[in-house]
Amino acid sequence: MFRPAWIEIDLGALRTNFKRIRRFVGSKVKIIATIKQSAYGHGLIPVATQLHRLGVDFFGVGGLDEAIKLREERLKEPILVLSPTSSNFAKYFVEYDVRPTVVSMDFARALNREAAKRNVRFPVHIKIDTGMGRLGLYYKDAYRFIKEVSRLKSLSLEGIFTHFPAADIDPEFTNHQISVFNAFVSKLKGQGIRFLYQHCANSMGVLKYRHCHFNMVRPGLILYGIRPQPHIPLKVEPMLSLKSKIIFLKKIQKGRSVSYARTYIARRPTLIGTVAIGYADGYPWSLSGRKTLRGISQAKVIVQDSFFNVVGRVCMDHIMIDLKRRTDIGVGQEVILIGKKKGLEVTASDLAKWAHTISYEIVSRLSFRIPRIYNK
């Protein structure tokens, strides 16, 4: 590790979070651990392996590539690919025993043919749209489609699901989605079309809408210990810390500038530390210090026992921090970009707020050029 930038992943925190979620939803509700995009940047295989030890019921992944990686690691849990896939790849679902998300007749028929060839009844999950407006037929148009899929002899209807676009901000809309989903599933049941599992709940659904747990939930964010909102009814522990070191230090005089575009001009003599982390690592360029209506917006880092501000523009491989009058900080000193120390904490959600983005984007874009170190 020549470049001092690394990510520490606490698998113990994953154990704590998973157990708390399990207790929160109760033992009758199955958990699909949502580990798409390399477990939100935490690393697909280490996270999946830990969840396997904890007795997770299902994995939810972003694509077939991730599903196949899990199978190659001999993880035997059922896997659901949460996105639709081109019909050309139907055979791989059957070959690797991976549940597909079905949103078209074309794909359903391709899967049915592959399953028939191998003489199996192949489980599928159908996604319907109750307000996300993204994948799946709108529930009002989905009935005939599902009826048609149900006639395919080599497929079995294992799951029906939908997704919430606004569970964190719009309870009225979310409750409406839950009730139309419920009514739709009942209508299907009335026609003899039954699914083993019904699932809707992302992290917010798990936390704030107990009546939408049905018999399966799909948490992502809270597994990793990131809160979708500041106040949630479950305590979770962050798994990920992003750390680097000071690689250069210099005193600068009043009036001198720091970094591209010279947006930062020292108003007093100060000590500037250069830290080996940048936007190529996924530390967003939008964390560059900039003037706002309310003054200067600055991201914070933790060094020793204090917060310090990021000053000037974030560079590809570097940031600069204002160490003020500190004389006890030297080259090689650890800098915490995400994580906690001595009662101080910077969370992925803090970075998201400062960068005008969401915590999901912060963690899922942390570059895999940064080594991940796993602690049990």
Q: What's the min distance (Å) between Cβ of 218 and ligand PLP?
A: 4
- Give the range of 142-150, 183-191, 214-222, 237-245 binding ligand PLP by CB under 6 A: 214-222
Q: What's the min distance (Å) between Cβ of 348 and ligand PLP?
A: 12
For 224, the token pair is 């990793």
**Partners of 291 in the beta sheet?**
296
Q: What's the min distance (Å) between Cβ of 279 and ligand PLP?
A: 24
Contact 364, 351 (CB under 8 A): no
| Residue choice 34, 174, 259, 288 for contact with ligand PLP (CB under 6 A) | 34
Contact 70, 79 (CB under 8 A): yes
| Residue choice 221, 236, 323, 336 for contact with ligand PLP (CB under 6 A) | 221
> Of the candidates 270, 206, 227, 241, which has an alpha carbon nearest to the alpha carbon of residue 22?
206
Q: What's the min distance (Å) between Cβ of 234 and ligand PLP?
A: 12
Phi, psi of 240 (to 5 degrees): -110, 135
Q: Binding of ligand PLP at residue 125 (CB under 6 A)?
A: no
**Residue closest to ligand PLP when measured from CB atoms:** 220
Cα gap 94→108, rounded to integer Å: 12
Catalytic residue among 117, 147, 250, 260: 260
| Residue choice 50, 174, 177, 203 for contact with ligand PLP (CB under 6 A) | 203
| Residue choice 220, 273, 289, 312 for contact with ligand PLP (CB under 6 A) | 220
DSSP 371: P
With 0-12 CB in 10 A as exposed, 13-18 as middle and 19+ as buried, what is 330? exposed
Please confirm, yes or no, whether 342 is among the known catalytic residues.
no
Cα gap 55→93, rounded to integer Å: 23
| Residue choice 38, 50, 130, 202 for contact with ligand PLP (CB under 6 A) | 202
DSSP-based three-state secondary structure for 25: helix
Count Cα neighbours of 353 within 13 Å in the Cβ-side half-sphere: 12
> Of the candidates 308, 315, 326, which has an alpha carbon nearest to the alpha carbon of residue 263?
315
Footprint on residues 148-187 left by ligand PLP (CB under 6 A): 163
Catalytic residue among 36, 127, 243, 300: 36
- Give the range of 175-183, 219-227, 304-312, 314-322 binding ligand PLP by CB under 6 A: 219-227
Cα gap 154→236, rounded to integer Å: 42
- Give the range of 139-147, 184-192, 220-228, 290-298 binding ligand PLP by CB under 6 A: 220-228
The contact set with ligand PLP (CB under 6 A) reads: 34, 36, 82, 163, 202-203, 218-221, 228
